[in-house]
Amino acid sequence: MKILVCVSKTPETTANINFVNNNTEFDTNGVSFIMNPYDEWYALVRALEITEANGGDVTLINVGPAANDAVIKKGLAIGAKEAVRIDAEPTSALFVAKQIAAYAKSQNFDIIFTGKESIDYNGSLVGGMIAELLSLPYISYATTLELNGNAATLNRDIEGGTEVVEVQTPFVVSAAKGMAEQRIPNMRGIMMAKKKPLAVVAAEAADDKEKVTEYKVVPKDRSIKMIDPENMKELVRMLHEESKVI
């Protein structure tokens, strides 16, 4: 089984978000970066479990500058065999997907994993784009993936429930919570990661189809009204008359 896991670098989950340059850029000052949790906890770990059970190797791919190598090395320490970094700023989802599809095209991966979304732009776009560019089936928001030879059975999240689907390799899948449990890299993994190959590949030309022109921090304009815990009639009255939500 030859598996490609697409990983992105995102701000850490508790990071405070601010914008600079007249609110046109994300302020990276004081922000620590991590591997996108859905990519790490669910996509990468499930990919490793599959190759541990069936044989095969996991390759990591990231589109980003050299500063992303720390995140990629963590993935190698968790257990991926090798990594590829496409050397370019990941300026839009389609740009990233085109880079990954161009790399994957000649490699015959059985499964291409992404996380269900990245926690920075929350677009949930790249997996579907890669699938379309490579004409592969795409299963999004998968919470389980079981393989039997080349046949995969997956559960995927739908509104208020689950859909069970079957598909043959090769396919693209986006991994959601439930797919696997987070793995913490051990010292041996960290030492071994230093010797694993990390290829740096030049990017293909591709333009961005959309662009952020302005950012805003979500206004915290709620002014709280404290209500006497003995007087829930007052809360009901306010929700009905003032906020008109019930």
Partner 1 sequence: MVLVLAEQNAGKFKKATLEVVTYGRKVADLLSCECTALVIGETDAAATLGQYGANKVLTTADAALENFDSQTYTSALGQVAEKVGAKVIIIGHNSTGKSIVGRLAARMDAGVISGAKSIPSVSNGFVVEKNVFSGKGIASFTLDTEVKIISVMGNSIQPEIIGSDVSPESVSLQIEDSKVTVKERKTVSGTVPLPEAELVVSAGRGMGGPDKWGIIEELAENIGATTACSRPVADTGWRPHHEHVGQTGVAIRPNLYFAIGISGAIQHLAGVSSSKVIVVINKDPEAPFFKNADYGIVGDLFDVVPRLNAALKEFKANNN
Site for partner 1 in 126-145 (CB under 8 A): 126-133, 135, 137-141, 143
Residues in 48-107 that interact with partner 1 by CB under 8 A: 93-94, 97
User: If you ran DSSP here, which 8-state letter would residue 176 be given?
Assistant: -
Choose between 55 and 161: whose C-beta lies nearer to partner 1: 161
Residue spans of beta strands (DSSP E) within 50-127:
57-63, 82-87, 111-115
Q: Note whether 110 and 1 are within 8 A (CB).
A: yes
Burial bucket for residue 42 (CB in 10 Å: 0-12, 13-18, 19+): buried
Closest CA to 77 of 193, 198, 195: 193
b/e for 154-187, b at 16 or more Cβ within 10 A? bbbbeeeeeeeeebebbbbbbbbeebbeebebee
Q: How far is CA 228 from the centre of its chain?
A: 44
| Minimum separation from the CB atom of position 208 to partner 1 (A) | 8
| Minimum separation from the CB atom of position 48 to partner 1 (A) | 20
Q: Binding segment for partner 1 among 53-61, 81-89, 195-203, 204-212 (CB under 8 A)?
A: 204-212
| Minimum separation from the CB atom of position 222 to partner 1 (A) | 5
For residues 217 to 236, the per-residue mask of contacts with partner 1, x marking binding by CB under 8 A and - elsewhere, is: xx-x-xxxxxxxxx-xx-xx
Residues in 183-202 that interact with partner 1 by CB under 8 A: none
Q: Binding segment for partner 1 among 1-9, 15-23, 54-62, 80-88 (CB under 8 A)?
A: 15-23
Closest CA to 83 of 95, 70, 94, 93: 70
Choose between 53 and 232: whose C-beta lies nearer to partner 1: 232
Is residue 119 a contact point for partner 1 (CB under 8 A)?
yes
The single residue among 25, 153, 197, 200 that binds partner 1, judged by CB under 8 A, is 153
Give the list of residues 6+ apart from residue 132 with CB closer than 8 angstroms, or none.
138
Q: Are strands 82-87 and 198-202 parallel, antiparallel or unpaired?
A: parallel
Choose between 48 and 93: whose C-beta lies nearer to partner 1: 93
The single residue among 22, 29, 148, 213 that binds partner 1, judged by CB under 8 A, is 213
Residues in 162-181 that interact with partner 1 by CB under 8 A: 162-168, 171, 177-178
The single residue among 4, 125, 175, 180 that binds partner 1, judged by CB under 8 A, is 125
